[in-house]
Structure 1
Amino acid sequence: MTERTSSTATASPAPGTGFSARLPGLGLALGIAIVATVVGRFVPLVGAPVTAIVLGVALATIRRPGARFAPGITTASKFILQLSVVVLGSQLSLAEIGRVGLESLPVMLGTLLVCGIAAYLLGRALGIIGDLRTLIGVGTGICGASAIAAVTPVIGAVSIDVAYAISTIFLFNVAAVLLFPVLGHALGLSQHAFGLFAGTAVNDMSSVVATATTYGPAATQFAVVVKLVRTLMIIPIALLLSAWAGRRISGREGGDQVALGGAPQRRRPNVFRLVPWFLIGFVVVAAANSIGLIPQSTHAPLSAVSIFLITVALAAIGLSTDLAGFRRAGARPLLLGGLLWVVVSVTSLGLQLGFGLT
């Protein structure tokens, strides 16, 4: 991080801040999204979101965007994606959200439990212990990079473990976007069943939306609600990990800390900060739709706007692909991530079948 001095009366703005600094990256993501939208109209089976992420990855592989594109790409991949989820709330009502949440709860909790157990056992078998195993397990079981970011300060994970975990999760997110719709059609899953499958078996929100959008609008709406409810699982998991980390630190350093007259320091999770702002925005917009504040005539245009925003965000995510990060991560974290991805996918489909939700 560059240090700033106060030797001048007027400080120079930090690089990468301000709207103008974001324009190059936003423009690049927007251009890819426009091309992807055109391609998606000619190849609707693939669709604009998947096309955008493929084009972004291809461009990043050929020539990774320079530093001047980074602020805009980051804004597109995070804020614009979150905004698209808020807009999606205009297609639903609070009654639908509650019904979907209750209906998906057995599958959601079942996949989370199985993923946690599998992460522990498979991680030990592969020799991946400690924080990296926890991060990959939480990222796969809950919501990808968001869950990893939420629990990192709670368990005190080092940056290299965070980078490995995010790289691993991202790889299988892309795989899910490309493979799950094909699998869904092969299995004859309904829009409802595929939405539940995508919402419980895909990690990051971006990939959930991209995967379900390719399958159909009904699948997208269902998957988004399932995924948002699943995101709330960050709160109890972060609290449990906080308690576990506190016991681990106390057991390892308690004697020394008592001798020094202090207590081990750790970061306690703020429950309110663990709830993403876009989840609140989604519920607020859905509430507005429930009481008739959003006219029916605007639903189709708002749906189109949401899909285009998703396409822009996925173009940026594709541009952010770090192939070198995959190489640095090595084979074992990737293998653990792949095995957990398969375990969660099979568990999701199996629980749906068992509860008669297909």
Structure 2
Amino acid sequence: MRMSKAVERTTLQRVLPHYHCSLNNSTVAPLGNGLINSTFLVRSINTNFVLQKINQHVFPKPGDVVNNAELINNHLLNKQTQGQYQLTPMRQIENNDNKVFSLVDRNYWRAIEYIPNCYTIEAVDTPEQAQQVAAAFAKFTHALADFPAQELAVIIPSFHHLGHRLSQLKTAAKSNTNDRLQHCSELLEFCLSEHEFIKSVAELEASLPLRVTHNDTKINNLLFCASNNNPTAVIDLDTCMPGFIMHDFGDMVRTCCSNLPEDGKNIEEMYVREDILSALAKGYLSELDNHINELEKQSLVIGAQLLPFMIGIRFLTDFIDGDNYFHTKYEMHNLDRAKNQIKLYSLLKNIQPKIHDMIYQLSR
């Protein structure tokens, strides 16, 4: 049995009995390549399921994570029953005590229904694929449109709040405890000088309606059906909380539309894959266009630029601060990431009129 270093065999021996199985009648193997939680596929005599230990460093209130997921899944299951949600909700499985989490050695564990004959994708290759991705996340958002977002716990406070992220950057730069400003002074100055864009984001945030948002809309957070290659489920609901749809759309743009990975160093060769961006807009609005207000639609143009800008600021802050948050492989890794994402922001800003046209193409 393959095991991760973070989870000992003896721990699993204590966890599995909470779900009517043991290491004697089950096989356990690591599942996926997520960097946050420890995730395993359990195959037992009676059933297969996903077992996950929640990372309490990233999620200090794991009970809120589990409860949010339960509220969302129950709502989606109801929508599915009514024929109003075509994807498969990721149902959490109750343990022997009829709870959706198990507390073992002060760690929170949960079991999630395993959907067979599915696969994940790490990167978008074609416009058709991009349209599928955006439509799937839009279906998720639309199905939750009548769920009161305020009932969800805020998992990570100010997660996508630009003002907060800028404040963190300024604090790190003022302290400069690792003497790294010498390597990034121009990039820092650029980020702090984007006054007009920063103001436009703040004005939008003051007026946009709160919705249930996923907040991590990468393609690898979708399951695809092996038989027809269509999206079948939105997964990884850990960061679901009240938010704005411009964040979800912007994260898709950020992770799908550059020709380089987010730590690619040859940023002079970076370009925006406009065919992918157009397909994302088409797919997203094919499901949401008649269900969002005009300001939300306008916000997607800003969101496409906002998420690269914000994650660039976060990478830069972590670099100045000594690489305490993001895992790095070499000394300048976070700085390279920051330069990459700010470059993407600049490229997207330069084509803002095109992005506007892509967003409004369905309305013509």
Q: Same fold (TM over 0.5)?
A: no
Higher strand share: 2
Normalised by the length of structure 1, the TM-score is 0.26
Higher helix share: 1
